[in-house]
Structure 1
Amino acid sequence: MAVKILMVCLGNICRSPLAEGILQSKLPKDKFIVDSAGTGDWHVGQLPDKRSIAIAKKYGIDITNQVAQHFKVIHFENFDHIYTMDMSNYKNVLNLAPNEKAKSKVKLILNELFPGENVDVPDPYYGGEDGFENVFQMLDEVCEVIAKKLT
């Protein structure tokens, strides 16, 4: 049975689609399923932000098959690991957790690199192009750590 990992950000169009694509590229597809969702629902059904698509493509990752979805309580049942991009989304996800087992699946993603420091992956949505490059590099580094832990 495949290990299922969910990446979560606010709108599911910038950070979490990148994290999904990057981690997918580092794990064997027959043993792992990686998906993403947003705590907000205003982008449901949309492709990732064109800047996320472009930065992923620059590094050989295609995220154009992704469609934004809204994080729901059922995700706690369907996923083994839930990584949030920032403290705000971490709290929002925890608030939806039906029990302690569900809460134990949720981690702030950069705590995998900086344990206990609660560092946020900055939201590049309102920034310039370099914001997407910086976010890609952060996520690439942390996804390498996660992939090594999981394999």
Structure 2
Amino acid sequence: MTFSAIRPDEATPFRIIFVCTGNICRSPMAEITLRDLVTRSGLGRLIFTSSAGTGDWHVGEQADARTVAALKRQGYDGSHHRARQFDPVWFADYDLVVVLDRTQERILRNWAVSDRDRSKVRLLLSFDQEQASLHDVPDPYYSDDALFDSVLGMIEKANLALFAQLEPAIRQGVR
């Protein structure tokens, strides 16, 4: 996916949602790290980040404690996150729906009611040439702190690549 000039404004920013399984590990990491990049670039009012899960079993819960800890080790604050489930009506509200693995990709493309909505669904690693062949960001839920740290590193790297593609289009559209 390439981005041409995007013309967001403070009232209608470019909206990105990250989606994983339960919205307590990978998608909060992606939301928080991209938000940090966007804020540091000065585009915080023009790009909105959010996250959700395909499942409903963690709705209302905080991010997994290991997620919060991994984020904190890298200087991010994940303490305010609350899990929620993706609602298919949200396709209309988002410009880009970034999924963390092919399972969410299949689910969301099945939930989409139009080709336009299906075209918004993209794998996070697809934005990073070096990681694209991996396709999936591993789910660290049943693992240890080391995998949480590794997954966060993958997400940060992929978000840098996503932002590198998105930022020029946003800046060009702001003129």
TM over 0.5: yes
The 1-side partners of 2:165 and 2:79 are apart by 27
Asked if 1:111 is matched to 2:126, the reply is yes
Asked if 1:58 is matched to 2:69, the reply is no
The 1-side partners of 2:46 and 2:164 are apart by 14
Give the drift of 1:2.
Answer: 0.6
Amino acid in structure 2 at the alignment position of 1:5: I
- What residue ranges of structure 1 are gaps of 5+ in the alignment? none
Asked if 1:2 is matched to 2:17, the reply is no
Percent pairwise identity:
34
Tell me the number of residue pairs that the alignment of Structure 1 and Structure 2 aligns: 151
Q: Is the 8 A contact 1:8 1:89 kept in 2?
A: yes
- The equivalences for 1:27-106 within 5 A come to 27=38, 28-106=43-121
The 2-side partners of 1:87 and 1:122 are apart by 11
Across the aligned residues of Structure 1 and Structure 2, the Cα RMSD in angstroms comes to 1.2
Change (3 A) 1:135 1:116: closer
Change (3 A) 1:87 1:118: farther
The 2-side partners of 1:58 and 1:109 are apart by 22
Q: Is the 8 A contact 1:108 1:118 kept in 2?
A: no
Asked if 1:148 is matched to 2:164, the reply is yes
Normalising by structure 2, we get a TM-score of: 0.83
Give the drift of 1:116.
Answer: 6.3
The 2-side partners of 1:71 and 1:131 are apart by 25
SS at match of 2:82: coil
Q: Is the 8 A contact 1:14 1:124 kept in 2?
A: yes
Moved over 4 A (4+): none
The 1-side partners of 2:128 and 2:165 are apart by 12
The 2-side partners of 1:81 and 1:64 are apart by 25
Q: Is the 8 A contact 2:125 2:132 kept in 1?
A: no
